[in-house]
Chains A and B, each alone.
Chain A
Amino acid sequence: MKKEDVNQKGISRRSVLKGAAAVGAMASLGGLAMNLASPGSAGAAVRQLPKKWDEAIDVVVVGSGFAGLAAAAEAAGEGSKVVILEKMPTYGGNSIINGGAWNSWDDKFHLRKKLNLGDDSWELFKQDTLKGGDFYNYPELVEVMVKSAPEATNLLMDEGVKVRETLPRMGGHSAYRTFMAAEGVGRGITEPMKRVAEKRGAKIRLGTQVSWIWRKDADSPVLGVEVTKDKKKSNIRIKRALILASGGFSRDVKMRMVFNPSLGPEYNCTNQPGATGEMIRYAQAIGADAIQLAFIQLYPCAEPETGMLDTPAVYPYTGTGYGLIYVNKAGKRFVSELERRDVVSMAQIKSGSKPTYSILNDEVFKKLVVPKEELEKGIAKGRIIKADTLAELAGKLGIPADALQETVGRHNKLLGEGKDLDFNKPLTKNMIPLVNGPFYGIAQWPSIHHCMGGLRINTSAQVIDIWGNPIPRLYAAGEVCGGVQGSNRLGGNATTDCVVFGRIAGTNAGKEKSL
């Protein structure tokens, strides 16, 4: 830790934080210091460290999604006693309900080569991620993520995650690199990860909310956490480290509007109800820096009415590299289907009518290796509309038949010519012309999905304070962090980010010397 820069500027870091914890000393200097404890709470001005701790735990992980489970498994693997605190009554956060997709430029079975889907490298993956994030990403964090992606992929496979024999190319990616869990949903990944973490001794406590982080002053390590369970508070002393893996704040309308006032309550959200971001505030209250919080992403293809990312809402995003197209209610294309999420979302909103549709055929579903049963369920629920001809499909979707036929015909022709003259989509030979029926339509609309911004971390997953120094014994991984995804996350990058940085946080936390 370097303290010089702080002292040179004549700012005492202690003066900000001291009041929160060490009131006694300050009082003798006359009056209380500014205090960051939540205003209005009893004793906010004299928030003192617990006089006694109710228990002591080596490594405490907050959150039980991909990042939390990965961190817990690694820390427990280092021999630490690990407890995961999950405020919701069920484990898994957004991870257990996500689309079950993650990115890697290689894996031990070399699936991309096996499926003959062209080239890829960590350099290309890095470049795409940086470009997709408008270069707001911290390049050193991106480099860690992309370089570790194959190792993370192999680990997930070793832990029992099964994948489909497909490798979609999604918006913003210039290669086919998205692995899909066989289950078609994140549970296919969280369940094996949870098994591994628990096998190594990590314990998950559900319905247990962290309500404060204890730190003595701006030089002190994190000492513990206050937890609230069934309205009762208790204090856990942390012997090695605290890992924040608590996700984003998409579900907290107030918080997201602070950073982006345009994202009001009229927007739907794909997230689980617990994604409310309070851990970011608790970390800030003990000096943590939080960055780029205004970058909040819409998922372009959610179910239009409820905003959920259900199984049929995954295909419109994974199918793009295999020739699926988007049309508006007039039956016209309105964007390059391989554009980034923010671009596709805004293009939809500007397309003039809600919803828009993905158009695909059986061959695309086959490329995605969607099980027959899964497809039939989506059709039965009315989420996927099936028709033998394009004219029939147009009728069912309520869009002009001639316009849809013309649009599909033109796209087919452009595929043949190898150049998208209309929207400049990078065309590949893996994109299927929509010639043969049956055809399918899926309604879609943007829904708030992911917070790119969050706590500032370094490549060791240490949380950085507002003076630029790591906060001792505080780590963070996953959506709670900022800087990895830049202004716009590419599809499939969240899981990779969570697993890679979760593992780094867990390994480093487990190696901290016990206090």
Chain B
Amino acid sequence: MKKSLLTLVALAALMALLCLYIGGGSVEAAKPAAKVSKTSCAACHPELSAVVPKGHPPVKGSDIAACLGCHKPDASGKADKNKVSTGLHRAHVGEGGKLDCMSCHTWKPGKSFGLQGQKVSFGSPTKDELEVMKKVFASWKSSGYTDSLHNKANIVCGGCHGSAMAKEGDTVENSRCLECHGPMEKLAKKSEPQDFPDRNPHKSHLGEIACTVCHKGHAESKTYCLECHKLFKMKKIPGGSASQ
């Protein structure tokens, strides 16, 4: 009897420690509450209203459903900003983010990937694919590459990749980029070098090429022209290395 009591106390202490760990330093220290499930926001945010932006109406509830009542999940894959999804992912994923995807999402490996309490499914990632996605989210959060520049602009995966969950090796078509960044003439105007206007990556002798030749989503972007034209003075490419 005594032994089991000791075990219980030890377990409780461990739980408390764990919760503290999950909470990290930036969120309020969690109080070990009796009815808090591992998928509850309240495990780390006892007051959800305290973590939403200023001026946001009070939040009722203790899990993702509290948000989704008003912020309907969007699986349309529009090339739009999505502040709620971006904000939630930015705060919780990748390097420094301590939460498992399953705190908000539901997942049947290879079958579905949705949101708790919602019928929506965004795709059917396998275990490996989900691991890749976690790495990509870490990149999106802080890499300095094109992905993290889109994070800053409140664009999450679907903003570029559309409604289907992106997989390794997927690309983004020019038309998609140009929905927000186009037309090409506008980009050409922006990238026009000061010395010789015809040395323009957006208006080159190669004709229309894929944006992704230079602009890499989850890797360092590089101006392809410089592969051959080593002496050209090109404008710095966003998401590229400091030296280029």
Chain A contacts to B: CB under 8 angstroms: 89-90, 92, 96-97, 185, 187, 191, 206, 229-230, 232, 272-273, 305-306, 308, 377, 380-381
Note all chain B residues with C-beta closer than 8 A to A92: 206
Note all chain A residues with C-beta closer than 8 A to B185: none
A232-B229 in contact given A89-B210, A191-B207 (Cβ < 8 Å): no
Note all chain A residues with C-beta closer than 8 A to B198: 377
Chain B contacts to A: CB under 8 angstroms: 168-169, 196, 198, 205-207, 209-210, 212-213, 224, 227-231
Query: Are B231 and A232 closer than 8 Å at their CB atoms?
Result: no
Name the residue of chain A whose CB is nearest to the CB of B212: A89
List 7 other contacts, CB 8 Å, given A96-B207, A272-B228.
Answer: A90-B210, A90-B224, A96-B206, A97-B205, A185-B205, A187-B206, A191-B207
The CA-CA distance from A55 to B66 in the complex, in Å, is: 47
The CA-CA distance from A96 to B209 in the complex, in Å, is: 12
Which of B210, B224, B231 contacts A306 (CB under 8 A)?
B231
Closest beta carbon of chain B to A227's beta carbon, Å: 13
Query: Are A306 and B206 closer than 8 Å at their CB atoms?
Result: no
Note all chain B residues with C-beta closer than 8 A to A273: 227-228
Which of A232, A377, A381 contacts B169 (CB under 8 A)?
A232
Query: Are A308 and B206 closer than 8 Å at their CB atoms?
Result: no
Q: Is the interface of B mostly helix, strand, loop or mixed?
A: loop
Query: Are A90 and B229 closer than 8 Å at their CB atoms?
Result: no
Query: Are A308 and B228 closer than 8 Å at their CB atoms?
Result: yes
Name the residue of chain B whose CB is nearest to the CB of A380: B196
What are 19 contact pairs spanning A and B, CB under 8 A? A89-B209, A89-B224, A90-B209, A90-B213, A92-B206, A96-B205, A96-B206, A97-B205, A185-B205, A187-B206, A187-B207, A229-B169, A230-B169, A232-B169, A273-B227, A273-B228, A305-B231, A306-B230, A377-B198
Closest beta carbon of chain A to B230's beta carbon, Å: 6
Note all chain A residues with C-beta closer than 8 A to B209: 89-90
Note all chain B residues with C-beta closer than 8 A to A305: 231
Note all chain A residues with C-beta closer than 8 A to B228: 272-273, 306, 308
A206-B205 in contact given A229-B169, A273-B227, A308-B228 (Cβ < 8 Å): no
The CA-CA distance from A306 to B198 in the complex, in Å, is: 18
Closest beta carbon of chain A to B233's beta carbon, Å: 12
Pairs of residues from A and B, 9 with the lowest C-beta to C-beta distance, nearest first: A230-B169, A89-B213, A90-B209, A90-B206, A273-B227, A185-B205, A381-B196, A90-B213, A187-B207
The CA-CA distance from A239 to B169 in the complex, in Å, is: 27
The CA-CA distance from A187 to B169 in the complex, in Å, is: 29
The CA-CA distance from A284 to B168 in the complex, in Å, is: 33
The CA-CA distance from A191 to B198 in the complex, in Å, is: 19
A206-B210 in contact given A229-B169, A308-B229 (Cβ < 8 Å): yes
Query: Are B196 and A187 closer than 8 Å at their CB atoms?
Result: no
Note all chain B residues with C-beta closer than 8 A to A306: 228-231
The CA-CA distance from A232 to B170 in the complex, in Å, is: 12
Name the residue of chain A whose CB is nearest to the CB of B230: A306
Closest beta carbon of chain B to A145's beta carbon, Å: 27
The CA-CA distance from A305 to B205 in the complex, in Å, is: 20
Note all chain A residues with C-beta closer than 8 A to B212: 89
Note all chain A residues with C-beta closer than 8 A to B206: 90, 92, 96, 187
Name the residue of chain A whose CB is nearest to the CB of B169: A230
The CA-CA distance from A92 to B208 in the complex, in Å, is: 12
The CA-CA distance from A380 to B213 in the complex, in Å, is: 29
Name the residue of chain A whose CB is nearest to the CB of B168: A230
Kindly name the residue among B207, B210, B224 whose own CB sees the greatest number of chain A CB atoms within 10 A. B207
Note all chain A residues with C-beta closer than 8 A to B196: 377, 380-381
Note all chain A residues with C-beta closer than 8 A to B227: 273
The CA-CA distance from A380 to B206 in the complex, in Å, is: 21
Note all chain B residues with C-beta closer than 8 A to A230: 168-169
Closest beta carbon of chain B to A184's beta carbon, Å: 10
Note all chain A residues with C-beta closer than 8 A to B169: 229-230, 232
Name the residue of chain B whose CB is nearest to the CB of A206: B210
The CA-CA distance from A407 to B10 in the complex, in Å, is: 100
Note all chain B residues with C-beta closer than 8 A to A229: 169
The CA-CA distance from A392 to B148 in the complex, in Å, is: 55
Note all chain A residues with C-beta closer than 8 A to B213: 89-90
Note all chain A residues with C-beta closer than 8 A to B210: 89-90, 206
The CA-CA distance from A230 to B224 in the complex, in Å, is: 18
Note all chain B residues with C-beta closer than 8 A to A97: 205
Closest beta carbon of chain B to A196's beta carbon, Å: 15
Closest beta carbon of chain A to B23's beta carbon, Å: 39
Note all chain B residues with C-beta closer than 8 A to A96: 205-207
The CA-CA distance from A223 to B207 in the complex, in Å, is: 35
Closest beta carbon of chain A to B236's beta carbon, Å: 20
The CA-CA distance from A381 to B193 in the complex, in Å, is: 13
Closest beta carbon of chain B to A188's beta carbon, Å: 10
Name the residue of chain B whose CB is nearest to the CB of A273: B227
Kindly name the residue among B168, B206, B231 whose own CB sees the greatest number of chain A CB atoms within 10 A. B206
Closest beta carbon of chain B to A370's beta carbon, Å: 16
Note all chain B residues with C-beta closer than 8 A to A187: 205-207
Name the residue of chain B whose CB is nearest to the CB of A373: B198
Note all chain A residues with C-beta closer than 8 A to B207: 96, 187, 191
Name the residue of chain B whose CB is nearest to the CB of A381: B196
The CA-CA distance from A254 to B196 in the complex, in Å, is: 35
The CA-CA distance from A89 to B227 in the complex, in Å, is: 12
Note all chain A residues with C-beta closer than 8 A to B168: 230
The CA-CA distance from A459 to B230 in the complex, in Å, is: 41
Name the residue of chain A whose CB is nearest to the CB of B170: A230
Closest beta carbon of chain B to A249's beta carbon, Å: 17
Note all chain B residues with C-beta closer than 8 A to A272: 228
The CA-CA distance from A187 to B206 in the complex, in Å, is: 7
The CA-CA distance from A308 to B229 in the complex, in Å, is: 8
